[in-house]
Structure 1
Amino acid sequence: MSSSLYRLGLLMASLRWKIVGGWVLLLVIVGGLAAGLGGTFTSDIEIPGTEGQRGIDALANRFPEMGGTAGQVVFVTEDGSPVDEHQDQIDALMSDIGEVEHVSVAPSPFDDLSPGTLSEDGTALIAQFQMDFPTGVYPEASVEEISRLVEEADTAALDANLGGQVLHSSEIPFGIGEIAGVIVALLILAIVFRSLVPAVIPIITAIVGVGVSMLALVALSAGVDIPSVTTALGAMLGLAVGIDYALFILSRHRDQLSQGDDVRDSIGKALATSGSAVIFAGMTVIVALVGLFITGIPFLTVMGVAAAATVALSVVVALTMLPALLGIFGERLRPRRIRRRMQENGGALPAPDPQAAPRRSLRRSWVRLVTKVPALTILVVIVGVGALALPIKDLELALPDLGTEPRGTAARDTYDLVAEEFGPGYNGPLLVTADIINTTDPLGVVDELESDVAALENVKEIQLATPNQGADMAVVVVIPEGGPTDQSTKDLVAELRDRADGWEQELSISDVTVTGATAVGIDVTDKLSSALLPFALFVVGLSLILLALVFRSIWVPLKASVGYLFSVAAAFGVTAMVFEYGWFNGPLFVHVNGPVVSFMPIMVMGVLFGLAMDYEVFLVSRMREEFVHTGDARGAIERGFTANAPVVTAAALIMVSVFAGFVTSGWFMLQPIAVALAVGVLVDAFVVRMTFVPAVLALLDRHAWWLPGWLSRALPTVDVEGEGLAAVLEHRRWTQEHGQHALRLEDTVAPLLGAPGTLGPLTGAIAPGTLLVVRAPDDAARGTFLALAAGRHRPRSGILAVHDRLAPDDVAAIQGRTHWIGAGEQVSERLAGLSEHGLDRTVVVIEQIGDLAHAAASDDMLIARLDALLEAGATVIVGSRKDHPIDAERRLHGALRAPDRLLALSVQRSTASTLEGAHA
């Protein structure tokens, strides 16, 4: 992968203006689609199949007057007089509301059939109305018209307030806090790079990535139900990872420029090294977010896929637009001090003074401190994280209701007014529905059901009990004693459902359900809570597998997973402190305390997993690299930490600043997620990765990098630090010295195909435009060599290059350039079908020389076609079953226009194999 990324970086740098222009054009196109399609987001959160959702769906079909979006107007007299003195004014308002488009029913609260709710002192009244739109889909024009009517009805004598589900807004409150977070990120980047020019680049790429993904979501929302929180979550995550991924690549580029590297070559190297880690880091986040599908919750799956797509787009931007921008800025990204020294030294950087003492740094002092007594460091971390995690026991989950809206909004003021005048239960009524089609006395059955429900504990009153117009469905509107998120309300829902079977038998009714917005919210929370453990096992198991692949170790993945759980525990504990205990509410702009949004834990676990793996890879991979090169376990920890800690520090601070910016939005749906992610990143980067991890590695010493041999052989090799780049650069230098070659082998050893033993080591090279005859009576040896040249077999060691592609990293590219003509195939037709484009990079492998000779005998133009291919630079490799020249080979040699293009190679299971006539 590193070699492909190296070439990608060079290509993006050379096409820099076209690439940047392409991204800008894409942004404009997607923006046009978003504006033209006019999509809207939904604030509805539902889980099909739950009892609450089944009840809502049944109401929409069989009792449409109660199945749409509910609204309420709360009337309170200003002078304490009875509210019924204003009956004419109230009736007029409700009549006007009933005329608004999409309002299905708006009865007078003084109607005997559907009376409103009167307060105990008679000074306040709740009037209900129903819209024909389902919950979560709001016709803005209609709601605005109703709001205007209610405002006009508000007088000095009678206070009118609009409330209910119609005020659930799908708008995303972006504000100054998010902008401040980006500005703080810019300042951090400016400090890291000590220059404003490179600091701006990650901000630009992150904004482009987020802009394209968010506009795409707006366009998609015209045909797909997308929760409104999805865009805010995607924007928050996209900005954070977009800036971080660009930082990782840009910091590597700047380091290389500081060492005097050429700008274009440095871009390729930066992408091949840090770009590999960015891809791995992005994949971990993407897999964790897409993995939310295992919860079986549709809206959460949509959120996860949308957020994963945003992260994927951030990775693509970092691999394409970023190197293009690096190419545009060119030498301006090289530190001024280095530029000046290079100008003074004729364009080259002078060699460093070997006698110069290493500079003292805080990071070196820190890693020495935490690894001096590693067991003590580990104990301190466990105690500290444990203290932060203690409040988890008080963390409660629920879906936000209108009581979580900011104070001063109509929705929140009406919610508080209802709770004050009537009781908190009126903000979260429960609907008990039943199929009464089998009864001969619908009204009597409804009365009995009403009496039984009213007698239950935690029931304040029955607001309404009635059959529908067809007398086949009954609805009992239950007002609980507590609010929508109170435990007493949850207990009442559970008791109502427990008694359903008994009522069905006693009253000869069926399909008794407890539904309504409050019951649906309780169902969603229960479903999410039950999905938390399977998802946690999925994430931890995934981390163990991924890190075992990267670090070739047993203990490093275990340590990383434990550290991740530490970070999650601390994040949830601090979230409970803020939203349950009320700590730091003022500075964090938190306006309500109570249960946090129920999908916070599972979403935070998914996102934090990816970010934690980012820091683990960037920090520990450098330690592993140092250990592999030196064998010094303790020294590798210090050198690896010192090299990569500054980048991880900056990345974590940027993440925290972006997440903190979203905390200040005041949107309760997003605030707990932003707080948990900010705390989780802070703890993970500074407490876990920079303190706990070095201490554990120091305690384990060399054992930290141990992996059983059988497992090492079973696991594929993953290059996340661009280790394969060294081979690419070496082959590039070799090519500059020896010229272009179609095939290069150097100490190449490969296991034999279909037989025990090995082939090689082989050393040699052939130029493009060569016809190579591979002689070997040994079918396994000959087949192995042909498969190696065609990219169908991987070498065990040594160098195998086909043109500029190296095996095993680029076997797919080698296969893409190779045409394999198997035994018995029509050689003439296959050669005639070769495209003339890119022949100088084409390799043709013909399994049997007899097939080529037979084709030449029956096709007079074949030799001419073969000559033309060789002249154009194509390389042809042919297998022969003899270890000496045969007639077919001699005829080919005599027929070619340039006979010296034909070379021969004898291969066997011996170390003496050489390429005859090749330029070694």
Structure 2
Amino acid sequence: MANLLNRLGLFSARKPWTVLVGWLVALALAGGAFLAFGGTLATSFNIPGTETAKVTAQLQKQLDQSGGATGSVVFQTKDGSKLDAAQKSEISSLLKRVGTVKGVDSIVDPFTTADQRDAQAKKLTDGQTQINTATQQIADGQSQIDAGRAQLDAGQKQLDDAVAQAKAAGAYDQASAQFEAQQQQLDAAKAKLDASQSQLDASTKKLEASQKQVDAGTQLMDAAAKIRTVSTDGSTAVGMVQFKDDLFNLPSSVKEAVAHKLDAADISGVEVNYSSEIATDISGLIGPGEITGVVIALIVLIVMMRALMPALMPLISSLIGVGVGVAGAMAFSGVVDMSSVTPVLGLMLGLAVGIDYALFIVNRHRRQLLAGMDVKESIGLANGTAGNAVVFAGATVLVALLALNVSGIGFLGVMGTVGAACVLVAVLVAVTLTPALLGMLGLKVLGKKARGQIGHEAHRAPVAKPMSTPRVVLSVVAAVIGLLIIAIPALSMRLGLPDGSSSPTDSTSYKAYTAVADKFGAGQNGPLIVTATLPKAVSETDLVPTEAKLVDKLMTVHDVVAVAPIGASDARDFIAFEVIPADGPSSASTEALVHDLRGTDVFGSDVTVGVAGQASANIDVSEKLASALPLYLAVVIGLSLIIMIIVFRSLLVPVIATGGYVLSLFAAFGGMTAVYQWGWLSAIFGVHDPGPVLSFAPIIVMGVLFGLAMDYQLFLVSGMREAYVHGLPARQAVVSGLRGGRAVVTAAAIIMISVFGGFVFSELDMIRPLGFGLAFGVLFDAFLVRLVIVPGLMHLFGKAAWWIPKWLDRILPNVDVEGAALERSHPLHGVSAGADAIADEEEAAQPVH
């Protein structure tokens, strides 16, 4: 590989314009492919097979719902006054115009809904009044019937007494006709009373059924009292926009069209804001924070190289690589479900590793030039040595990112694959375009002052002296304890997906979220859909009472503040309810509520419960990601051990490297938890509403940090190994390797931190914790683990650090990561990276006995 890269570097240096034009053509083709074939980027995260996904499919089948996304639009008077008739009319007209947008299924007018609610309440009140009147009428009728029966009973008694007297006097036969006529009259009156009683009983039964319906309706109205579309003070109204597509497939063009109509609205005295389902896009892909990070990286490069042109080279090459990688990946968004975060992750990684990889090659080339090597030969050698290390380091990042596919989570695998593609492009750019640009610059890759010192004695490697053991012990212990303390918050880390509360405070989605929470309650920002599958169908007349009975049970569940039925299947054996929790969608109480609803027989053991809704979906996704973390960590640790054993031919060095990675990883998790969940230093990092840590941030940070940690391990410890293999004592070899790689690793880490740190202040709320975790992970790993803990432990273990069983040493492949064999074929006295030169110099420095 080293010889191939050497030849590739020489070709690029001799044909620089060919290589540069080739990459510019690739950039144009990638951009064209994106414009021609790019599709929709999703703003939500979906994992097929979750409980929410199953219930959603059931809802679509049983209730024939579109299953489309729903966004809310909040209308609020600027002075807090009650919305007047003119404002209401303009709001209704605006929502009707929104409803005409292609891709919008329907809209919900808040005032129509409120009027319908009032009408329903009046209908129930009027119904109760009618029932009360009818009840009184029935009572009066019953009194009349009872009085008639009493009269009949008295008449019957008189007739019976008269008949008895006539029979006793022997005069019955003479008066029998009269007696029979009187009896017929009494029987007819009794039959009439019985008919009236039957009618009255039927009316009573009907009235009881009506009362049951009214009672059930009243119960439902009371349970849904806090589900409102107009606030109690009349200053705020919430309209709904129902899309035809779900959030994962909703085209950005549809959301943009809706947002455009809402933004263009000019309703006097009314502020219009809308939820993240409408507002979320990738317009904040590059913002002030990201640009600041790149500027800091440029400053670091200028300080390191003491010249502008060589400092610009890594930036130029990385920007071209990022353009090719991100645009090329997004060209596939039309055929692959891709989230809006995916290209931003590719941008972050491509930019950061692109600068670093180019830096490694440029730095090696500059050192060789200072030692007196020919420009072209130096370019080839730098590409064959440092470039070889770049290829291997990039391969570790690729493997870590591609391993995200083992999680079985589709969108996460796509993110890893796109990130890996961007890193691959960065590696290819580093070993082709960087040598080409170096060939164009020639000796100008060095500053004017440096060019005057080419071949000077100052560029020879100084004698390495072992570190002080007591100082090493103190440094290692302090670093380990410090990382463990920083990692403590990770023990309480809770995962979730962002809602409107995490958006920038000046964003429309944040204003909409806070307005709803203030006027209607936080839970209305994340309603749940609860379904009940009945053991058998109910009759049409029993539907409302059955709904009321189920609603009554739901209202007894802790943290449920309101419930309303939203539909029943045609067979009336499946009923769905909207449930409003006490807190917002990302709160711990809402998460607990979802588990309570699923884990208990809230409706009874014979009724099957289902929970869906965006809040429920986010909880399911977060839990699925959390469950994938241990498996992925095991895969990454296993890869780390295997790679390090092959590269360093040692058992202890891989354990040290992997242990250090785990320390820095959990320290990064601790920092993320403290800032984004606990709210520490919230003012600095713009965390105005602390909440759960972004659910896929830990697994992304885990994969990326592994690759970067192995990069730094490789560039530092491979120098130690080369020095040791070529005869330097183990402890002196540690200092020699540390001295050779410390400067470039420090610069590379600062650049990484700057680039990732710029994304901490991104306009996209899902990018900020990713940028933070990666920036702090690199900070801990580079400056505490790789530059303090690893060299310290290598010093303490001494020669034992390089022990490996002979049988294992025989079967391991010989991986010449830094191209030492190639370097020995291009001998140049004074190049500090040359292990032979270092060993010879150290040997000459030893006292003669």
Name the TM-score, length of structure 1 as normaliser: 0.73
Percent same amino acid among aligned pairs? 40
Cα distance in 1 between the residues matched to 2:302 and 2:89? 66
Contact conserved, 2:587 with 2:691, CA < 8 A, in 1?
no
Q: CA deviation at 1:207?
A: 0.5
Contact conserved, 1:83 with 1:125, CA < 8 A, in 2?
no
Q: Which moved more, 1:714-723 or 1:652-661?
A: 714-723
Alignment correspondent of 1:204: 316
Alignment correspondent of 2:467: 368
DSSP-derived class of the 1:630 partner: coil
Cα distance in 2 between the residues matched to 1:452 and 1:338? 81
Cα distance, 1:646–1:466 mapped onto 2, change above 3 Å = same
Q: Which moved more, 1:387-396 or 1:411-420?
A: 387-396
In the alignment, does 2:116 pair up with 1:111? yes
Q: CA deviation at 1:57?
A: 3.3
Cα distance in 2 between the residues matched to 1:487 and 1:582? 15
Cα distance in 2 between the residues matched to 1:148 and 1:691? 54
Q: Which among 533, 537, 549 is matched to residue 448 of structure 1?
A: 549
In the alignment, does 2:442 pair up with 1:380? no
Cα distance in 1 between the residues matched to 2:580 and 2:622? 21
What amino acid is aligned across from residue 377 of structure 1 in structure 2?
S
Cα distance in 2 between the residues matched to 1:94 and 1:468? 29
Q: CA deviation at 1:89?
A: 5.1
Q: Which moved more, 1:112-121 or 1:6-15?
A: 112-121
Aligned residue runs from structure 1 range 314-329, under 5 A: 314-329=426-441
In the alignment, does 2:707 pair up with 1:610? yes
What amino acid is aligned across from residue 675 of structure 2 in structure 1?
V
Cα distance in 1 between the residues matched to 2:572 and 2:265? 36
Cα distance, 1:486–1:200 mapped onto 2, change above 3 Å = same
What amino acid is aligned across from residue 430 of structure 1 in structure 2?
L
In the alignment, does 2:618 pair up with 1:506? no
* CA displacement, residues 562-585 of structure 1 (integer Å, 9 cap, x when unaligned): 111111122112222222333333
Q: CA deviation at 1:102?
A: 2.4
In the alignment, does 2:282 pair up with 1:135? no
Alignment correspondent of 1:282: 394
Alignment correspondent of 2:668: 571
* CA displacement, residues 383-436 of structure 1 (integer Å, 9 cap, x when unaligned): 111221122234321001122111122211111000001111000100113456
Q: CA deviation at 1:170?
A: 4.5
Contact conserved, 2:535 with 2:606, CA < 8 A, in 1?
no
Cα distance in 2 between the residues matched to 1:470 and 1:105? 25
Q: CA deviation at 1:474?
A: 2.6
* CA displacement, residues 498-533 of structure 1 (integer Å, 9 cap, x when unaligned): 236x748534xx5x4211100000001111111111
Cα distance, 1:61–1:724 mapped onto 2, change above 3 Å = farther
Q: Which among 626, 636, 643 is matched to residue 529 of structure 1?
A: 626
Q: CA deviation at 1:116?
A: 4.9
Cα distance in 1 between the residues matched to 2:460 and 2:509? 66
How many residues are matched? 712
Cα distance in 1 between the residues matched to 2:738 and 2:708? 18
Alignment correspondent of 2:529: 431
DSSP-derived class of the 1:586 partner: helix
Q: Which moved more, 1:297-306 or 1:379-388?
A: 379-388
DSSP-derived class of the 2:804 partner: coil
Structure showing the higher helix proportion among its residues: 2
Contact conserved, 1:116 with 1:127, CA < 8 A, in 2?
no
DSSP-derived class of the 1:462 partner: strand
* CA displacement, residues 58-81 of structure 1 (integer Å, 9 cap, x when unaligned): 434554546111122334465644
Cα distance, 1:27–1:615 mapped onto 2, change above 3 Å = same
* CA displacement, residues 283-318 of structure 1 (integer Å, 9 cap, x when unaligned): 111111111112111000000000011111111111
DSSP-derived class of the 2:432 partner: helix
Aligned residue runs from structure 1 range 614-625, under 5 A: 614-625=711-722
* CA displacement, residues 871-904 of structure 1 (integer Å, 9 cap, x when unaligned): xxxxxxxxxxxxxxxxxxxxxxxxxxxxxxxxxx
Cα distance, 1:470–1:135 mapped onto 2, change above 3 Å = farther
DSSP-derived class of the 2:296 partner: helix
Cα distance, 1:290–1:608 mapped onto 2, change above 3 Å = same
Name the TM-score, length of structure 2 as normaliser: 0.79
Contact conserved, 1:65 with 1:105, CA < 8 A, in 2?
no
Q: Which among 804, 808, 815 is matched to residue 711 of structure 1?
A: 808
* CA displacement, residues 236-262 of structure 1 (integer Å, 9 cap, x when unaligned): 111110011111111111111111111
Q: CA deviation at 1:129?
A: 3.4
Contact conserved, 1:394 with 1:580, CA < 8 A, in 2?
no
Structure showing the higher strand proportion among its residues: 1
What amino acid is aligned across from residue 219 of structure 1 in structure 2?
A
Q: Which among 561, 570, 580 is matched to residue 479 of structure 1?
A: 580
Cα distance in 2 between the residues matched to 1:338 and 1:91? 72
Cα distance in 2 between the residues matched to 1:486 and 1:607? 28
Q: Which moved more, 1:718-727 or 1:153-162?
A: 153-162
Cα distance, 1:449–1:465 mapped onto 2, change above 3 Å = farther
Q: CA deviation at 1:84?
A: 8.7
Cα distance in 2 between the residues matched to 1:239 and 1:79? 47
Cα distance in 2 between the residues matched to 1:2 and 1:357? 24
DSSP-derived class of the 1:523 partner: helix
Q: CA deviation at 1:479?
A: 0.3
Cα distance, 1:155–1:327 mapped onto 2, change above 3 Å = closer
DSSP-derived class of the 2:381 partner: helix
Q: CA deviation at 1:181?
A: 1.2
Q: Which moved more, 1:160-169 or 1:289-298?
A: 160-169
Alignment correspondent of 2:5: 5
Contact conserved, 1:136 with 1:168, CA < 8 A, in 2?
no
* CA displacement, residues 417-465 of structure 1 (integer Å, 9 cap, x when unaligned): 0000111100010011345695143625444333322221110101443
Cα distance, 1:10–1:74 mapped onto 2, change above 3 Å = closer
Cα distance, 1:332–1:86 mapped onto 2, change above 3 Å = closer
In the alignment, does 2:758 pair up with 1:661? yes
* CA displacement, residues 784-818 of structure 1 (integer Å, 9 cap, x when unaligned): xxxxxxxxxxxxxxxxxxxxxxxxxxxxxxxxxxx
Alignment correspondent of 1:597: 694
Cα distance in 1 between the residues matched to 2:244 and 2:228? 20
Aligned residue runs from structure 1 range 231-310, under 5 A: 231-310=343-422
Cα distance, 1:278–1:675 mapped onto 2, change above 3 Å = same
Cα distance, 1:466–1:301 mapped onto 2, change above 3 Å = same
In the alignment, does 2:651 pair up with 1:551? no
What amino acid is aligned across from residue 32 of structure 2 in structure 1?
G
DSSP-derived class of the 2:530 partner: strand
In the alignment, does 2:738 pair up with 1:641? yes
Cα distance in 2 between the residues matched to 1:176 and 1:91? 38
Cα distance in 1 between the residues matched to 2:263 and 2:381? 64
Q: CA deviation at 1:372?
A: 4.4
What amino acid is aligned across from residue 654 of structure 2 in structure 1?
P
- Unmatched runs of 5 consecutive residues or more in structure 1: 343-348, 731-920
In the alignment, does 2:728 pair up with 1:628? no
Contact conserved, 2:531 with 2:577, CA < 8 A, in 1?
yes
Alignment correspondent of 2:208: none
Q: Which among 406, 411, 415 is matched to residue 504 of structure 2?
A: 406
In the alignment, does 2:335 pair up with 1:223? yes
Cα distance, 1:499–1:187 mapped onto 2, change above 3 Å = same
Cα distance, 1:649–1:88 mapped onto 2, change above 3 Å = closer
Q: CA deviation at 1:631?
A: 3.9
In the alignment, does 2:415 pair up with 1:415? no
What amino acid is aligned across from residue 399 of structure 1 in structure 2?
L
Cα distance in 1 between the residues matched to 2:289 and 2:734? 38
Alignment correspondent of 1:721: 818
What amino acid is aligned across from residue 98 of structure 1 in structure 2?
G
Alignment correspondent of 2:784: 687
Cα distance, 1:89–1:251 mapped onto 2, change above 3 Å = closer
Cα distance, 1:173–1:309 mapped onto 2, change above 3 Å = closer
